[in-house]
Amino acid sequence: MAAIRQQINIAVPVRAVWKALTTDDGLAAWWGEAARIDARDGGRVVLSLGGEGGELRGLVHELRPTRTVEIAWDNVGQASAKGTRVTFGLARDGEETRLSVVHSGAGALDDAEQRAALEESWRKALLKLRTWLEG
């Protein structure tokens, strides 16, 4: 099935969005209850989603400072996104930062109900990120 693709503009510099994607405190502020990230190629990522969401564990597959972060989630655990990849792309858009998200892979994306839930989850998470950074 096709990847989930979403995009949002945030009225802060690229470096502020980058920090929200590549630091423990940044990820925990908008994406999960707790996070650990070793922001380098091959670095480990652990994201605690809380409640029934479970925990995602993975590796930073690609990191191009202030441009791209790709996380490959391990295919273990209870989280619906296990075994998938998430790629964040950043670019300047006038005075704002354009953040694009591509969530790809099998599993949850092949199931219509889980896919719809993931799409809604991304929409909410990106709005939370924008509110947090612009607040």
Q: Which domains does the chain have, with CATH numbers?
A: 4-134 (3.30.530.20)
User: Rounded mean pLDDT of 11-39?
Assistant: 96
pLDDT tens digits along 72-96: 998 876 677 778 899 999 999 999 9
Q: Above 90 in pLDDT, residue 109?
A: no
* Cβ(70)–Cβ(61) below 8 Å: yes
Element (H, E) at 110: none
105 falls in which pLDDT band (50, 70, 90)? confident
Give the whole-angstrom CA distance, residue 68 versus residue 70: 7
Average pLDDT, the chain: 91
This model's pTM is above 0.85: yes
Residue 76: per-residue pLDDT: 75
Residue 60: per-residue pLDDT: 97
Q: Which residues pair with 104 in a beta bridge?
A: 85
Using a 10 angstrom Cβ sphere, with 0-12 exposed, 13-18 middle and 19 or more buried, the burial of residue 24 is: middle
123 falls in which pLDDT band (50, 70, 90)? very high
Beginning with the edge strand found earlier in the chain, give each strand of the sheet holding 34-37 in spatial order. 4-10, 96-105, 84-93, 68-73, 55-64, 44-48, 34-37
